[in-house]
Structure 1
Amino acid sequence: MNLKFIALVSLVLVFSHSGFSQVLQLPDALQRAVENYDKIKSKKAVVLASAQHTVFQQQQYLPDVTLSAQQSFGTINVQHGPLYAYGGLASAATSMPMAEQSWNAAFGALYFANVNWNIFTFGRLKQQVATARSKEQTVTADLDQEIFQHQVKVGAAYLNLLASQRIKYVQQKNLERAQVFYEMTDIRAKSGLLPEVDASLSKAEVSHARSLQIKAYDKELEYAQSLAVLLGDEYQTYQLDSLFSTSVPSLHPGSTAQVKDHPLLAWEQRKIDESVQSEQLIHTYKMPNVSAFGVIQGRGSGFDWNYAQDKTAYSSSYFKGTGIDRGNYLLGLSLNWNITNLFRYNSKIREQKHITESLQNNYQLLNKELNAQAQLAKNQLQNAFENFEETKVQLAAAQLAYKQHTALYENGLTNLVDYTQALYSLNRAEIDFEIAQNNVWQALLLQASAQGDLTILLNASRK
């Protein structure tokens, strides 16, 4: 039983380890970020809410239909005189006026259906729907730009983590070289071929190399945590695509940077469109409203028609009072126009025009900034390629110098200081090479970000 349990646990651990070692591709990381990031989920909910608001505005074309049924029990003592139900409903009792108070009571009922339909609003309902649709487009554009900005952050975090992993790899190789050198120096020092100080110094180099490797690992953990947060994952380490550390994208010097379709510009344009729609909607508030209305009514009462003459002509029966004895209907048209709205809304229109003007200025500023950033990114990409070529020359020279000084030191033809300097130069050249190669991809990401098109980076990574 114990052997079976141990075998089962071992199998689970094997599969778990294989799952964690799966390579995280950049397109998969971008997709996971969109699906899992809470802020994007929040804005998706706002888009759905805005769509429902548009449906609500479309439903304003429907007429108001009110159904009511009322049953009551009470007296009907009435006097001549006016009644005004200010600010609410009033209780009404009807009969001929009587000379004295009577406490005779019976049931009564009122049933009615009321229809009120705004048949002509001079474009107000149409503009309300158009404004709602414009707002829906604005929040959709906001979602698109949020997704784009977040994917840019994910791309940068992905490349930063890859750079930290490569630097850790370089420092690991440097530690291995230092350990080999220490073992060689220690053996020769114990044999009396080298002074003991060389062994002590080489041991210090091993410690220094191990310290650099630990610091590089700290950076990897830090960038892994940043990427996990952006992906909406639990904290973990990632195995990334080696393409970005073994190759560079092809350069197209003749390509022209275009920013007209940038998600940020699209969002700003949607805000301008929404403001323009709001201007048109405010104009409609200055116009009248034409409505058609209709009422059908049925009434019942436990008091007979001759109750004013015969005080016994009533019944307290529930069924006698809640039936329908009389019916009425009412049809008509209503024109409502607040004339002062012709003047009152002029200031609101001017206010909205100034808001539109402000949004247009923001659009122009953002457009200039993105164009400048696109040109800068294009030049930086060119510089990143040139710098990468220079680091290849430096790396080749440092590797050759290290091999030469290793051979010379082993044969006693050079001192420890010269060898250590060659070791430092090789380590620095390897790090510069890895950073320069990563910077090419970072520059391409910056160009894709400035142009608002991440396919520039994704297409370059599909070799």
Structure 2
Amino acid sequence: MAILCFIAINVHAQQRVTLKYLLNRVEQRAPALIADSASIAVRQAQAVETRNNWLPNLKLNYQADIGTNNNTAGPYFGFGLIPSNSRGVRTENNTSAVLTNLGIAALDWEIYNFGAYAAQNKVAGSDIAVEQNQFQQSKYKLQAYTIGNFLQLLRLQDYISIQSRNIDRNQQIRRSIQSLAKSGIRPGVDTSIAEAELSKARLIYIELDNQLKQTQLQLAAVSGLPYQAIVPDTVAETRLAQANVPESIVMDTANHPIINYYKSIVDNSRQREELVKKQYNPKILLEAAAWGRGSSVDANDQFNNLSSGWGFSRNNYLVGVGISYNLFDLRHKQLKLRTQKATTNYAIRELDEQKSLLALGVSQADVELNTAKQRLMEIPNQLKAANAGYRQKLSLYKSGLTDIIELNAALNILYRAETDYARARFAYASALFQKAVTGNQVGSILNLLN
């Protein structure tokens, strides 16, 4: 059973991961996207809170107090907390204790504010739209990040394969040199040179393998896959190089995540302009109150036992409709509206900048894509010539007609031609996806890989 599990694990680890599968995993598992989706829920909760701003305040209060009832005439401003003492002025000072109690139910409702409530709700809705478009932009950037690292994996896999072949060639050369040196045909120094070249090739292989694992770890962090399982499907790169890619990928500005994000910021700022205009409008208020009072002082101004102050001996109610408007709010509104319009203008400029940058990115990718195509057409000639040159030099060296320096030079030319070919394949795929990502057309490229 343990052996079967071991085999299953190894098979799983050797499975090739396609780009489409990896992108789906990232979209579902990336920690950054999970956090961004939670922030949308926060905005939605805030919008619900804003929609309930119209609810009235209904406060219930009760108090029982003991103190004096000793007034004097004269007006005053109510700075801070000034205790109330209701009673006319007596002819003499009286500091007898009085027990009173008071219960109040008070309603305070801003029933109409000429569109301020609606403006608040629209701002809250646009806040949600900004957060949602921020989420889509994060997905877009993470998509580009994932594609970039996936292509890096393909490039590093190509380099590792090339380096592995380079090690095999150096081992073959070393074996040949050892045989020739033993027979006295070649000097012993050639063996040392071959050992040095072989060691150098192995060191490069170790460094490339480290880079590959680092890239796998980066993708594992956003996809939730074990890094050992992220082995890219090399068929994808070959298909891209052989596919009939459309000459022009039209940029999708109508649904582009970056454009939509900045558009939502502009819309949010304009909604805030409307809120500024509405929040300084007059307010129509409904006020209502009902209250009861009791006191140990009776109607004849007799100070009775404190216990007689319990209970309500008088009940009242009051209902009123009022309008409130601060004339100086006109100036406040003008200043705040000017600031908000400046913010809107800045958001519009940012939107225009992003449109220009995306258009430039597509043009740059076009140039790079055309250059990469020309490289791919020419490099096979270089690779074929370099391979033939190396075989010729190896044959000449074994025959004693050339030295180790020329053989290593031919080997380096072949190695450079192979790496140039891998670099050209990477440049082509990178330029193609750069154009697709910039133009928001990744799906059309992924369809070529099916």
Are 2:382 and 1:388 aligned?
A: no
> Residue type matched to 2:264 in 1?
R
> Residue type matched to 1:94 in 2?
S
Q: Distance in 2 between matches of 1:437 and 1:444?
A: 11
Are 2:302 and 1:340 aligned?
A: no
Partner of 1:61: 54
Local SS of the residue matching 1:141: helix
Q: Deviations over 1:86-136 (max 9, x none)?
A: 234x32233454444445435322111111221221111111111121122
In the TM superposition, 1:303-342 aligns within 5 A as: 303-306=297-300, 308=301, 310-311=302-303, 314-317=304-307, 320-342=308-330
1:203, CA displacement in angstroms?
A: 2.7
Local SS of the residue matching 1:76: coil
Partner of 1:87: 80
Q: Distance in 1 between matches of 2:120 and 2:328?
A: 21
In the TM superposition, 1:331-410 aligns within 5 A as: 331-410=319-398
> Residue type matched to 2:140 in 1?
F
Residue of structure 1 aligned with 2:278, choices 273, 278, 284: 284
Partner of 1:72: 65
Q: Stretches of 4+ moved more than 6 A in 1?
A: 10-16, 232-237
Show structure 2 runs of 5+ residues with no match.
Answer: none
Partner of 2:154: 162
Partner of 1:242: 234
More deviation, 213-222/351-360: 213-222
1:259, CA displacement in angstroms?
A: 3.4
1:288, CA displacement in angstroms?
A: 1.1
Q: Do 2:185 and 2:400's aligned partners in 1 also have CA atoms closer than 8 Å?
A: no
1:273, CA displacement in angstroms?
A: 0.9
Q: Distance in 1 between matches of 2:99 and 2:8?
A: 80
Q: Deviations over 1:37-91 (max 9, x none)?
A: 5554444343332222222221112112222121223333334444542234x32
Query: How much identity, in percent, do the aligned residues show?
Result: 26
Q: Distance in 1 between matches of 2:445 and 2:341?
A: 40
Partner of 2:295: 301
Partner of 2:199: 207
Partner of 1:150: 142
Q: Do 1:244 and 1:441's aligned partners in 2 also have CA atoms closer than 8 Å?
A: no
Q: Distance in 2 between matches of 1:237 and 1:212?
A: 23
Q: Distance in 2 between matches of 1:109 and 1:25?
A: 78
Q: 1:23 to 1:304 in 2, by over 3 A?
A: farther
More deviation, 349-358/369-378: 349-358
Q: Deviations over 1:355-378 (max 9, x none)?
A: 222222222222122112112212
Q: Do 1:178 and 1:206's aligned partners in 2 also have CA atoms closer than 8 Å?
A: yes
Partner of 1:4: none
Local SS of the residue matching 1:61: coil
In the TM superposition, 1:174-185 aligns within 5 A as: 174-185=166-177
Q: Deviations over 1:153-207 (max 9, x none)?
A: 2221221133123212211111012112211221232123444344343333322
How many residues are aligned here?
448
Q: Do 1:258 and 1:451's aligned partners in 2 also have CA atoms closer than 8 Å?
A: yes
Residue of structure 1 aligned with 2:256, choices 259, 262, 268: 262
Q: Do 1:61 and 1:125's aligned partners in 2 also have CA atoms closer than 8 Å?
A: yes
Q: Distance in 2 between matches of 1:304 and 1:19?
A: 93
More deviation, 292-301/232-241: 232-241
More deviation, 176-185/13-22: 13-22
Q: Distance in 2 between matches of 1:65 and 1:460?
A: 65
Q: Do 1:300 and 1:322's aligned partners in 2 also have CA atoms closer than 8 Å?
A: yes
Q: Distance in 1 between matches of 2:382 and 2:182?
A: 36
More deviation, 388-397/22-31: 22-31
1:244, CA displacement in angstroms?
A: 3.4
Q: Do 1:259 and 1:450's aligned partners in 2 also have CA atoms closer than 8 Å?
A: no
Q: Deviations over 1:427-463 (max 9, x none)?
A: 22221222222222211221122113432443333x2
Local SS of the residue matching 1:328: strand
Q: Do 2:113 and 2:284's aligned partners in 1 also have CA atoms closer than 8 Å?
A: yes
Residue of structure 1 aligned with 2:107, choices 106, 115, 121: 115
More deviation, 10-19/415-424: 10-19
